Amino acid sequence: MIPEQAKRNTIIFDAFVKMQSVFEQYPDKSKITASISGGSDSDIVLDMCMHFDTKKEMHYVFFDTGIEYKATKRHLDYLEKRYDVEIERIKAVEPVPLAVKRGGLPFLSKRISQRINRATKKGFCFADNDIDKLNISEKKWWTNELGGKFSINKNYGLKEFLTENPPDFNISDYCCFGAKKKTAKRFYKENNIYLNLTGMRKAEGGARISRQSCFNNATKSHIASYTPLWWFSDNDKAEYEKLFGIVHSDCYTVYGMKRTGCAGCPFGSGFELELKIIEKYEPKLHKACLNIFGKSYEYTRKYRAFKKAMKCRERLGIDKNQITMYELTAQGG
């Protein structure tokens, strides 16, 4: 049932209308899951579902990656009590620590990690530039023929950095697959799930913006997916929180985080700040992050310093072999 207060905001009301329509198309709610991450967006998805899933037939699922905040787990307990619903905790098929050991460390973004992984698996040496070892797609990436967001030049100085500082450890996005996608896919198959709800929003940007709508039909390899908050702006989200009295986890209200995910994930551009927060509030988790992702953190810092120095040289018209004042300062010179 669509609540009265939803009518105060057009986007929120439309989202409820769409959810009602989706549930009418998928009447067997026991075959529907809502991914509850403990994040602020999934809090709203859960609240919306409660207005329609009155018999609590849906599966509300938390996929435990093996590197989660204690604050998140406490919040799941709170949500269960508030809504009188069970949130199933599903352990990862391959927890992040294991997935990293098996597949490699994340670096910068999923797309970049995939590219680097494919190139190194083919025996490509970044320093030697032996592009004949690459397939057509990786070759076009490395030579900057793809253009736009798929270009290696989208990340300033990355090609030059990889050439001068080839990684001495495996890089990949496998941890996302092993800990999340693989786990979810197994759960969907075992429970004959045909629709999954998430809290993804277009306003968050990133790779998700390639998605065209709030609903994706099932394919041979994926079940249907629905993102009720797809059109929510940050303001719409804030208004929903006020209208329905949404309470978020300590990650937001105490730690001061803007968003959550796998703790300390190197894919996050703000991982340095996140690490400081984790060290303060969850020191054991901080130690785990350093043990798991340490090499990736250091390599990312090295790239950022390289990029900054490269921009400085370019701005001042200095030859690439000359040392800038920034580099001297960084080296203690």
The angle, 0 to 180 degrees and rounded to 10, between the axes of the packed helices 234-244 and 40-50 is 50
Rounded alpha-carbon distances, angstroms, from residue 272 to 39, 129, 207, 275, 289: 20, 32, 22, 5, 12
Q: How far apart are CA 206 and CA 55, in angstroms?
A: 36
Look up residue 293 and give its two tokens: 């992702």
The series of mean pLDDT values per 10 residues for the chain, 333 residues long, is 92 96 94 96 97 96 95 97 97 94 94 94 88 88 82 91 95 91 94 95 68 83 93 96 97 93 90 96 97 97 94 78 53 49
State how beta strands 215-216 and 224-226 pair: antiparallel
- The angle subtended at Cα 59 by Cα 58 and Cα 65, nearest 5°, is 155
Q: Report pLDDT for 333.
A: 46
State how beta strands 215-216 and 87-91 pair: unpaired
Q: Report pLDDT for 89.
A: 97
Please check whether residue 179 is in contact with residue 96, taking contact to mean a CB–CB distance below 8 angstroms. Answer: yes
Look up residue 139 and give its two tokens: 């070759």
- The hierarchical CATH code for the domain 4-98+178-248 is 3.40.50.620
Q: Report pLDDT for 67.
A: 93
Rounded to two decimals, the pTM is: 0.88
Domain edges within the chain:
4-98+178-248, 108-164, 263-333
Amino acid type, 45: V
Q: Report pLDDT for 7.
A: 93
